[in-house]
Structure 1
Amino acid sequence: MLSNIFTVGFLVSLFASTVRLATPILLPALGQIYTQRAGVLNLGVEGTMTMGAVTGFAAAFMTGSLWAGVLAGILTGVLWSTVMAWLSVTMRANQVIAGTALNILGGGAAVYLYRVIFGIQSLPPQVEPFAAVHVPVLSSIPVIGPIFFQHNILVYLSYLMAIVTWFILEKTTFGLKIKAVGENPRATDSKGISVAKTRYAAVLIGGAYAGAAGAFMSTAYMNLFTEDIISGRGFIAVSVVIFARFMPFRAIWGALLFGFATALQMRLQALGINIANQLMLMLPYVLTILALVTASRKAEFPSAYTVPYSRLER
């Protein structure tokens, strides 16, 4: 068995899958860095991703355009997150309860929408996935090329978005506003900056990223929609934010860690390793728990984290 694992072919396939499987975790994690830096904890990421997956798949299937599917997923993520923004910012509801409710609603609504559009079929409809884009010269490098430079365009864009996210949060006025409302919303309000508008924007941006990740799952990874297509990736993305201490580049490492765990359990099952299937499926979630236990002790949460703001209260 070990002779099958410690081979160049196995390791290259494992690490290439790690890079690809990190994408639907990295994207929503980057979006949640905006949201949580603004002081809002959105636990509804799972439901948002599921809604993005079903609308993205439906749009891609009906139009024949994968990019239409991605756009539909993003728009759905924004619209779905508007509900979370309204509950947490305007209504000042408990953010944990609101997010949990939206997860349950999102899962049910996605399945209902799928059955309304496609009905119940013996063979689920599929779409042609995004083709792999081989980066000139770099993709030809032995070992390194197949791992990093032979993926579809959405994989490359997800890692590019980590740079964009860092730049916006660290180098722009908008990023400064987001961090300010998360640390001291009252002082920010006194400077004429709308806490509500800034938090709304942060939550909606987080929704856009989550919707894009959902569309990735249904149009670029599985190429179809199933009820359990997200399988806890939304919750893992939230944990990656804590693991990364709200820093985009650290989020890449966190996403790669969980991508590696998922890829490893899939490869070991394919080799027929003599370990219970249920134990292998637990691996990414066990890592999630361990990461939260260890990293949360060192994470510095925004001072107004999960705390609703009202200028009428002192």
Structure 2
Amino acid sequence: MSATAISPLPGKPETPPAAGESLAVSAKPVTWKTPVLLGILGLVAFIFFGVMGPNETTSFGISTSGDFFQLPALQVPALPGGIVLSVLLLGLAAYAIYLKTKDRAAPGWVPIAFIVLFVAAFLIWVVGGARTPNISLAGLIAGSVTLAVPLVFGSLSGVLCERVGVVNIAIEGQLLGGAFTAAIVASVTGNPFMGLLAAAVAGAVISMVLALFSIKYLVNQIIVGVVLNVLVSGVTGFLFSTVMQANTDLFNSPGRLPIIDIPVLSSIPIIGPILFRQSVVGYLMYIAVFVVWVGLFKTKWGLRVRAVGEHPQAADTMGIKVNATRFWNVTLGGAIAGIGGSFFTLVAIDSFTKEISGGRGFIALAALIFGRWNPIGAFFAALLFGFADNLQSIVTIIGTPVPSQFMAMLPYLVTVLAVAGLVGRSRPPAASGIPYVKG
């Protein structure tokens, strides 16, 4: 019987198998982390969303006043709906546990389906118990996409950096620096588009500092990122207090980027406001996700970037300039994060305040991990966190019985649960966080 040879990794000697030893690659053991977490969340859903669910009818509005045609609201009895969905959740958890007993990992669609069903059950429960048990589903989704814009840009910055082997903890500082620079430049020039361009430059400059110290001087990348976050926070806070507040009209009145409606398409129910009624930054978000994905996985440049992030020694032997590739990728990632930061001061509100980014850089880092270092995966993970952020605002307005403190921590709770368990076994680029010294 002929055996298929297995090529060794570049730079590693080939070790022949012992007599009688199989050449099959041993798989990593499947852990109980994801099945157990799904089981716990399924039980929580069954108790609170099912057995203890409100005996009301929840109404979800689908259309908005500007749509071509009006769709009827979706009426869901809260108690039966919660029971049905929680039973489905327990079924998915049981399936994941069954696969673990067979030493098989749950396929990717299991946690995705679990998340969708859990969110639906939570929505029915929390809206059904409100003073006014109705909510605009179209508005909820559109608002979630809007709030996810800076998270998407931040996670794309992290993807570009980590794919090339540099851990970018400084996303928070890049978002904050972009927001501050966009506000002050747009205020002075009277042109929000100049502020948008300046935000990209500010993010790139912050990333250059990260690249310089972590790539050239081999300083620990995580420490440099944390220091940059603190530095940008301190500098922007100081300048806000001493410069912006001293003359608000001149330095902190940037105006807003216009919302662009694409005729006809923006009036399509549900998807119209999401895809075709956005600011310039919102449209740039969709373009950036597509361009980064195509660049990383469909071009020669992306192949080189991923080679540097996985095995820099092998890339070096092929003539790729490892550290130069890392430097410019990190710089590009910073520019993208800076554009995301401009959202806070040019789209969300028309002024800058201290710590306006509110820790969203760290949520973007979680979206990067949850999305498995893939631009499209990071995009959908950011949408999940944006949904949680928007939901906590809306359910507070409609008078939910859930304590406001719990709703305020909902986005961060979702972040912890997603990264801790639902992401499953995930492997970052092999050389991520490891400096490369030629020689």
TM-score when normalising by structure 1: 0.93
Name the CA distance, whole Å, in 2 between partners of 1:249 and 1:55. 28
Match of 1:25?
151
* Residue in 1 that maps onto 2:184: 58
1:256 corresponds, among 369, 372, 383, to 383
SS of the residue 1:6 aligns to? strand
Aligned partners of 1:170, 1:43: CA distance in 2, in Å?
24
| TM-score, normalised via structure 2 length | 0.68
Q: Which moved more, 1:11-20 or 1:167-176?
A: 167-176
* Structure 2 residues not aligned, in runs of 5+: 1-53, 63-134
Larger RCO, structure (CA 8 Å, separation 6 or more): 1
1:233 counterpart residue number: 360
Q: Is the 8 A contact 1:127 1:223 kept in 2?
A: yes
Q: Deviations over 1:23-47 (max 9, x none)?
A: 1100111121110001111101101
- Is 1:74 aligned with 2:128? no
When Rg is computed on C-alpha atoms for both structures, the one with the higher figure is 2
Alignment of 1:288 onto 2:415: yes
Task: Supply the distance in 2 between the matched residues of 1:269 and 1:278 (Cα, whole angstroms).
Answer: 10
Stretch deviating more after TM superposition (81-90 or 172-181):
172-181
Is residue 183–residue 345 contact of structure 2 (8 Å, CA) maintained in 1? Answer: yes
The equivalences for 1:209-248 within 5 A come to 209-248=336-375
- 1:277 alignment partner AA: S
Moved more, 5-14 or 89-98: 5-14
Of the structure 1 ranges 183-192 and 290-299, higher mean CA displacement relative to structure 2 is found in 290-299
SS of equivalent to 2:136: helix
Note closer, same or farther for the CA distance 1:37–1:273 as it changes in structure 2 (3 Å cut). same
Alpha-carbon distance between aligned partners in 2 of 1:189 and 1:296, rounded to the nearest angstrom:
32
Give me the whole-angstrom Cα distance separating, in 2, the residues matched to 1:35 and 1:70: 22
1:48 maps to which of 174, 180, 192: 174
1:201 maps to what in 2? Answer: 328
Please tell me the root mean square deviation across aligned C-alpha atoms, in Å: 2.0
In terms of fraction of residues, the more helix-rich structure is 1
Q: Deviations over 1:174-212 (max 9, x none)?
A: 211211111111111122211110110111111011111
Cross-structure match for 2:4? none
Q: CA deviation at 1:173?
A: 2.1
Which letter maps to 2:166?
A: V
Q: Does 2:60 match 1:6?
A: yes
Structure 2 counterpart of 1:171, from 298, 307, 310: 298
Identity over the aligned pairs, expressed in percent?
A: 38
Match of 1:153 in 2: 280
Of the three residues 387, 400, 421, the one matched with 1:273 is 400
2:149 is the alignment partner of 1:95? no
Unaligned runs of 5+ in 1: none
Question: How many positions carry a matched residue from both structures?
Answer: 312
